[in-house]
Amino acid sequence: MKNLRGWLKNSYKLDLCHFLKGRSEGGVDDFIIFCELIAATSLLTSKKIIKARTLSPEMPSKNDISRDKSKMKVLIVKSSSLGDIIQCFPVLDYLHHLFPKVQIDWVVESHLASIIQAHPLIHRAIAKKWSEIRKEKYDYLFDLQGNCKSGLITFIAKAKQKIGFDRSSVREWPNIFATNIRFSVSKNLNIRLQYLSLLEQFFQRKIEISHAVLLKSAKSEEIAPFCQKYVMVCPGSKWTNKQLKEETLQAFLQSLYEKYKMRFLFVWGSSVEREMCERIQTPFSVVLPMRLDTPTWQSLMSEMLLVIAVDSSALHLCGTTNTPSFSIFGPTNANIFKPIGNQHFAFQGQCPYNQTFLKQCPLLRTCSTGACIREIQMDALLKEFSNWWNISPRPEVGRAPSLSLEENPYVLPEDSRHKNDPQQLRIL
C-alpha cells in the first residue's frame, strides 16, 4: 500500500491520500487492485497516455451506424445501485434504435442481476464474475458508472472500444485509465440525459426515444386485488435525510383524501419501511402485505392513479411507466434526479443553512436535522400539489413521454447552482 501510494504520487503527482479519505474499505481495495493491474501491464509507462488515449480514429462514422450490424455486441458497465441502474435504461432503447439486432450484456451486482435480466432488451446480465466478464469480446463497452469499481471491470473486460467519461465528468479520476475514448458530459443535465449524452457523442447521433419500458414479470395473483386506481405511496429511502417527517406525510395524505377523495396504497422495501407505513396508515389507506420484486412492483405501479415518493428507487421506477408522480426532494437536486416529463412534479425543500449544490448536498449523510425536507410544511405541499394536479396534462394510456437532448426542459444553465428554491421547480 505504501509503495503503491508513493509510486503514484511521485510519478504522477496524484494525491492518493486525499482520494482515499472517507472511502469504504471495499472501495479502497478496488482502487488498489485496479492500480496494481495497470502497473503490471505497463499501461502507465508515460504521462502522455491519458491524452493520447482520449481520442481514437476508430470512432464509428454515420455510414457505419446506418449499416445493419447483426453481430454487434455491447457491454454496459453499471453495477449498482438500483436507482442508478433504472436511470440508465433509456440507453438500451437508444442502442436498439441504432442497431435493432444488437446484443447487449450488462455487468451488475449479483443481487441486482434479476432486475437487469427482466429488461426485454437485455441479452445477458453478468453478475460480476471475472470469468464471465472475459467470456466474450465486445465491439463497444460503455462505462456508465465512472468510479474505481467500474474501472476495474472495464479494464478486465474485452472490447475493441471502451468508452467513458473524461476527467472533468468522471466520478473518480482513476477510472479514466480503463477507457480509451472519453467525453465531457454536462453535469447540469438530468441524470438520464447525462448517460445518453455519452452515447450520443460517441455515435454522433441524436435520437428521440421513450423512457418507458415494461419489465418482464410473472403475473402475480397476490397483487391482483390491489390493481385499482390507488395513489401509491412510497415513503422510504436509503437515507433518512431524504425522508419526509411522518406526521407531515400523514397530514398531507389526509388533506388529499378530503379534497380529492384519493385512496392510498403503501408499498415498502424493507421491514423498517413497513413499520413506517403502518404508523402512517389511515382508514382510507392500505399497506401492501407483501414485499414485491422490482418487475412486479413496476407492474403494480403501472395500474396506479399516481405515485407519491421521495428521491428513491421507487421514484425512478415510476419514471419507467406512464403513471404520474409527485415527489418531495430535500438534499438532492430535483432538476437532476426527477423523472422526465410534465406528468412528474417535484417539490424542493429549502435549506435553512444556505447550503448550495448542483447534484446533492455535501451534508446529505451527516446533517443532524435534515431540515431541508423534514421541516417542509403540509400546507406548502398541498398548495403546490393542487396547482399542479388541477392543470397537469395526464399521459394517454400506452403513450410514453419522449426523452431527448434536443428541446429538453431539464438542462440547467452551466453556471447554475441549486439553492433549494421550491418555486423554481414549478415549471417542471
Question: What is the mean pLDDT of the segment spanning 195-212?
Answer: 93
For residue 140, count other CB atoms closer than 10 A to its CB: 23
Residue 14 has pLDDT above 60, yes or no: no
Average of pLDDT values for 312-329?
97
- pLDDT digits over 258-303, tens only? 999 999 999 999 999 999 999 999 899 999 999 999 999 999 999 9
Which grid coordinates are listed for 137?
Answer: 469480446
Nearest Cα to 420, choosing from 365, 380, 389? 380
220 is a domain residue: no
**61 lies in the same domain as 42:** no
Measured in degrees and rounded to the nearest 5, phi and psi for residue 79 equal: -85, -20
Instruction: Name the most confidently modeled range: 15-19, 50-54, 347-351.
Output: 347-351
* CB 167, CB 62: distance < 8 Å: no
129 and 58 belong to one structural domain: yes
For the residues 361-378, what does the mean pLDDT come to?
Answer: 94
Same domain for 135 and 232: no
SS (H, E, C) 323-380: CCEEEEECCECHHHHCCCCCCEEEEECCCCCCCCECCECCCCCCCCCCHHHHCCCHHH
Lowest pLDDT segment from 96-100, 118-122, 218-222, 241-245: 218-222
Q: Is the pLDDT of residue 355 over 70?
A: yes
- Same domain, yes or no, for 88 and 26? no
Last residue in a domain, options 147, 181, 207: 207
**Average model confidence (pLDDT) across the chain:** 82
Is residue 350 a contact partner of residue 341, using CB atoms and an 8 Å limit?
no
In this structure, is residue 110 part of a structural domain? yes
Indicate the residue type of 29: D
Domain co-membership, 101 together with 239: no
Q: Where are the alpha helices (DSSP H) in 157-286?
A: 191-203, 246-260, 271-280
State whether 136 and 196 are in the same domain.
Answer: yes
Closest CA to 319 of 301, 333, 294: 301
Same domain, 57 and 38: no
Does 218 reside within a domain?
Answer: no
337-351 pLDDT tens trace? 999 998 999 999 999
219 within some domain: no
Number of domains observed in the structure of the chain:
3
Q: Is residue 217 assigned to a domain?
A: no
Domain around 32? 1-47
Q: How far is CA 114 from CA 68, 101, 263, in A?
A: 30, 22, 32
Buried b or exposed e, range 388-407, using 16+ CB within 10 angstroms = bbeeeeebeeeebbbbbbee
Among 6, 1, 195, 175, which residue's Cα sits nearest to residue 83?
Answer: 195
What's the CATH code of the domain at 368? 3.40.50.2000
Of the listed ranges 125-134, 156-165, 182-191, 236-245, the least confidently predicted one is 125-134
Query: Which of 172, 207, 242 is at the close of a domain?
Result: 207
75 lies in the same domain as 41 = no
Based on the fold, state whether residues 129 and 185 are members of the same structural domain: yes
**pLDDT average, residue stretch 20-37:** 50
Q: Last residue of some domain: 176, 207, 238?
A: 207
- Residue 151 and residue 42 share a domain: no
Q: Is the dihedral of CA 380, 383, 387, 390 positive or negative?
A: positive
- Cell representation of residue 303: 395500474
Q: Are residues 264 and 404 in the same domain?
A: yes
In a domain, 214, yes or no: no
Residue 216 lies in a domain: no
Clarify whether residues 25 and 59 are in a common domain: no
Residue 260 falls inside a structural domain? yes
pLDDT tens-digit map of 144-192: 999 999 999 999 999 999 999 999 999 999 999 999 999 999 999 999 9
